[in-house]
Structure 1
């Protein structure tokens, strides 16, 4: 098979196969993950509904028990000492116990216990308390500090139903209901069948197993499976709840008996039970196999179709290449040249054959044109450096087509002012000067110019004019310079200045005129950018030792202060004032350089004072040596602002922001750990060894609110948690949160949540009962 045809076929196959494989893998992965995620979400919803159903059962029993315990009949019985002769009163109490039966669960036994009168009434009989077989259990219930509590019943003794399985669940209701008491008058004890609750735990999915843990992590409901196999899962659930008590539900993966399972759990705020559902990951992934098989079949079909299309299309696309190769091979054979070797790339062979025909014809012409251009530029360079005599010029001018007749000559030296705020970079400067040279060749007539050349940072053009006076020559030179500058700005969007030498007639004075044009350009430092300057228009400068440094010293100190205070706008304005005071003084440019170098050293000293490496401030592109090559006021301002001031302020700001964030984080941590204590901004500032005003400003800047506002909001949040999770009185919660006046606590809570603490607790209890 042809080499090019093989490449074409391979590329076509790769172009078609690779997307199919990627799409197949992505489709299977996404579909599998979606299936697993949906199943877990459905199971979590089922676990939530199961929790709500079970709690509804328990709440209905608790509601009936509360109504019975608060009835006048029970309250009166707590003051009576009954015996078997008081059958009328006993009958009424027994009927009340029977009426506790609910449609949701079956009550197996109920006891009304009078601890002060020492008697106990069950559904069956009235006995003295000490004759009850479970009198110890009653005493344990009475000693518990809670007024209402749910307790798992006695484990099964036969062991047939499974380890840890309970037969009943007991509700204990103290009489009267007093918070945190261990000496009640009596007890109302109700036992319900655990099997009714276990039925609610049965999952519709055969791969699930659900059960209930008490506060100690013991499985109390959901019998039917050996609980010892789930001890690892139970410990993991307790660890996660202990590590993050504010997160009452969650999901995690673990291994049980060598198999991977997903454990879903939810902790009830009602009685502290934890509902756990175990889901087999292997069963989940089995549901994704059908997706994998379908995806594999579709990918295989796509691959077959792509392969057939690639083979057919590659042959069709190769057909014109084959005809062109046959034509080129026939030409080579007629010229008695070597035919293509087997296995050689066809396109490379065709390209080489065509190039050999073109190159052989144009090679000599291209070489001659290139050498002629370089020779002209080399001649002008020697003319600018004084290496050409007048006789040499007369000889060469006729050969190279240089101007032959003139009355005045002049040198135009163009330099780029600055490249900031343009689309060009510093490394483009030489290429731009070359482009300006091409523009000069097009704008200036050939009879009035020598070939433009680039010398270091300048584009230099020697011009020749016929003029009666030097003033007319100067005007012509200015017209030429204006034309070059205008077209360079229009075509390249380039800011440039041009220095013009004095008119001269002797070709040997070209070296001097070149120096004059460069000297004229140096006036930009005082006159500004985008200038056309005649050397004769520059006024003689006095000696450079006439600077008065006192004013500059003041501006220098102000600039250093602005940088230290990270005031970028102020630093930029002071820098411009400094340059205005320095550059517009009478003096040569070389006298300004030491002052600029000293200013740069003062700025770098700030970095050293703050422990910042000097290499991080200017960077590779902003070395201080670059300062000696700056030619305009704009370039100096740009260099100082972009290479020194802006990086230094940014680094100082980053260091300051990091310190502020650490202080704010420490304050937040102190509030969250000590909100129940008497803390203040002053005590926290003293603990962190900072002034309170400084700490207050940082906290407001980083957190967005004041210290006292954050402390009050956090205490109100914790008050809401205590109202939801404890039986503490509103006054006790206020005292715990350091509110000496309960009215102040209630006002603060209502201001934040638009409801009083007591109203919120009543609303929460009504919602739970419903």
Structure 2
């Protein structure tokens, strides 16, 4: 058998074996890993869905309870001494409690007045001090939060017994419950007036947990590590799992995750999620044995399939190797006439390689020639021009080689320099790279027909421009427009302050050296005119005459900017603008004796700003913030310190306090308008007109304080009024829609169904049926 054919056949067998074996092993491990990952993902999704179901129920109950507490009926009742004679009002309070039943799991609800010593539930009214669970309920007033949940072994046997006797129902008095407690009023500061206590049966909440046995058991653990929904000995085993989860959370700081653990001799895969809403821990535990059971089946299936594939690939390799060798054999016979060393080599492919290598050696050498760097030569050519090392004839001859324009009427030079890297995101070592970026921007902005190659020279980016204009005004405007475009693009892409000097127009290209010097001379005017300027060389004298006016105009502009920053309470912006203000005074060479005259206007503006916000200058700024104290300062450093410490810091703090108190007041006024005008045309724009604020501002403030949009709050309130009318009146749906200022009954029904999850007619029928 020929040597190469034997190698090809052996290699084909090896090539077939390695992929098949590798694929089999990889497939098994990937499939096993995927099964475990799917179980992890499935368990995590189950926990997420369970958490969402449970928290949706709890949040719905909280929101419904908050609406009930904010109703005028409850707010007024908190200030009354109710007795059994106040039957109508007690009935309304009890009916409101009954309406809190967003799902069937609510066992009981209590409205407690701590100050007036009375209690109302679904079906009873009595003095709170005589209630059997009085001590425990009274202790809730000492908790710090206005809203909290109580879990654990909450079994109010005596209260449940009283409720059973009062209602003549056979409720199980030993059923465990979860309690939601609201302090009244909301928010509560100090001792509350009353409490709203809603009890949910543990059994009802447990029904919300997932019951998919294949994905493991799901259970809930409270902040104290207690599985408050467990029954019998289940709590002990769950407590062991919770201890492992707690240790995992402490080690990794993860709010959710998966890990394997050995609990009571059984290997488990534990998935957990920590709820930021109420601190409960959702945990699922599944047996590792069940997870890996399917992996063993996959291993056998993979082995059988890979064995079959290996046999088929081996047969194909044998057939294919013989077919593949036939063209190599013909090529070997064809190249026998080419003389090379070691003609007797038995490896056919090596012999063919040597023969072809001899044929193509010359071509390979030709392909290794060096490609010239054309762009670098063009840049070097322009550098020699600005260095004065080229004559007119040299430039005319060599410019044709680089494809430069040969005809123009006038020329000009633009020099771009970076003003400063302070207050930017760059550092001094970035300057060369920034100049290179500016050079690229210039090359992109200006077309090739209007310029020669842009170059970097010292600390400047320099461009030689050409123009078809002859009139001085047109040339000046053309060069200025190009400079303005460069400045804008540099600011857009690099956020970098630059200034641009423009030379006088000229005709001979060798005058570029003098023109570059004019650009540098023009850029020196930044010392008096400030940064980010575009200046022509011929305007230097006029700029000197306007220097004094420019100083005071610049200071006046910065005073206005400083006032706006103080109003906004932006400390960083205030410091930045004031530093520029001081630098402007110092850089213009103003005598120290003139500092007070210039700064008196700034001090007066700050005092006026305090008075605009309703504050007293003496009360807000303090005793040292006076003109007399300012005039005693003798150094620039002390003046700067006085402005920042005695003026700016107090007024920024005062502005922020005013803004925070205004937000809450505005939100309360908007809520009051909704409660008073729900049956009228009330909108965000109407509130803005009444309160004298912009609608967008009111929308942002209301959303921030109430955590809900204005339109959603208005719709919710109107639908609550509609439910009351549907329960207590015989008005038609169209009449109720009209009274709530809905011109279209269909729109009212659509809104009611979206919020209540049923039509008005269905709601009235269900309410009458419950009665």
The TM-score bracket by the shorter chain reads 0.3 to 0.5
Q: TM-score, normalised by structure 2?
A: 0.42
